[in-house]
Amino acid sequence: MSHHIIDIDDLYYSYPDGNQVLKGISFRITHGEKVALVGANGAGKSTLLLQFNGCLLPEAGRVRIGEMPVTKKTLKHVRRTVGLIFQDPDDQLFMPMVYDDVAFGPLNLGLTPEEVDRQVMQALAAVGAVHLKDRPPYHLSGGEKRAVAIAAVLSLAPAILVMDEPSSNLDPKTRRQLIDLLKTFEHSLIIATHDLDLVLDLCPRTLVLKEGRIAADGPTRMIMQDEELLASCNLEKPLRLQGCPVCHPV
């Protein structure tokens, strides 16, 4: 169970153009924790997510997934442990058919065809997308694409799920279904998002990122009440915590 832990220690990262995005980040996420990563546009959220499975390697500092440092040698193991779900499903669904796409990861792991099939069908069932398996991804709706993109990662049976803006571009009902789905997951979950109401629903803990540093790390309910902090990070109190415009018109 120890590989459900993410341990980040004094992490620095700059893009090749010299733009330093992460400036000394440290935190630890333990088994089964659901954590939100919030912050302004350009605060470094997406860059940080790419560090979790070694898509980017740190310039200084260390990323550890369950006591195993993320290095070139451990990439295969790390990527099996950490499932990364991209913001734009079109980036993630590249195979001709939904089934092939969900099978892509398991096949790369070298599982037998029977095992692959079982994993794929389980993953599709978990997101309620079994009926889509013989459709090409570009004919799906936004919500369907999102569900399939999640299945494509679930089929690897990761211990930790990392999601970039999972609720973007979804209609309210589909968004609600996604939240309900994520509630059923027992994985450690890290969600980078601007949807603070989703954070209230899903994540007991919140990390606030500001200009490449951790501005706050604590219980979601406390952070969401701290209007000063939120304002300084280009955020706003979740709508649900704001006054009702009908009962208390401003």
User: Would you say 100 or 195 has its CB closer to other proteins?
Assistant: 100
User: Would you say 13 or 86 has its CB closer to other proteins?
Assistant: 86
φ, ψ at 17 (rounded to 5°): -80, 5
User: Would you say 97 or 130 has its CB closer to other proteins?
Assistant: 97
User: Would you say 91 or 227 has its CB closer to other proteins?
Assistant: 91
In the complex, minimum distance from the CB of residue 69 to other proteins, in angstroms, rounded to a whole number: 18
Residue 113 CB: number of other CB atoms within 10 A?
A: 10
In the complex, minimum distance from the CB of residue 206 to other proteins, in angstroms, rounded to a whole number: 24
Pairing state of beta strands 160-164 and 82-85?
parallel
Distance between CA atoms of 221 and 211, rounded to whole angstroms?
A: 23
The DSSP output letter for 244 is P
In the complex, minimum distance from the CB of residue 241 to other proteins, in angstroms, rounded to a whole number: 34
Binding site for other proteins (CB under 8 A): 50, 53, 55, 76, 79-80, 83-84, 86, 88, 90-92, 94-97, 99-100, 103-105, 107-109, 113, 116-117, 134, 136-139, 152-153, 156
The 160-164 sheet, strands edge to edge = 82-85, 160-164, 188-192, 34-39, 205-210, 213-219
In the complex, minimum distance from the CB of residue 70 to other proteins, in angstroms, rounded to a whole number: 13
In the complex, minimum distance from the CB of residue 145 to other proteins, in angstroms, rounded to a whole number: 11
User: Would you say 99 or 233 has its CB closer to other proteins?
Assistant: 99
Closest CA to 8 of 70, 59, 64: 64
Closest CA to 198 of 215, 218, 216, 174: 174
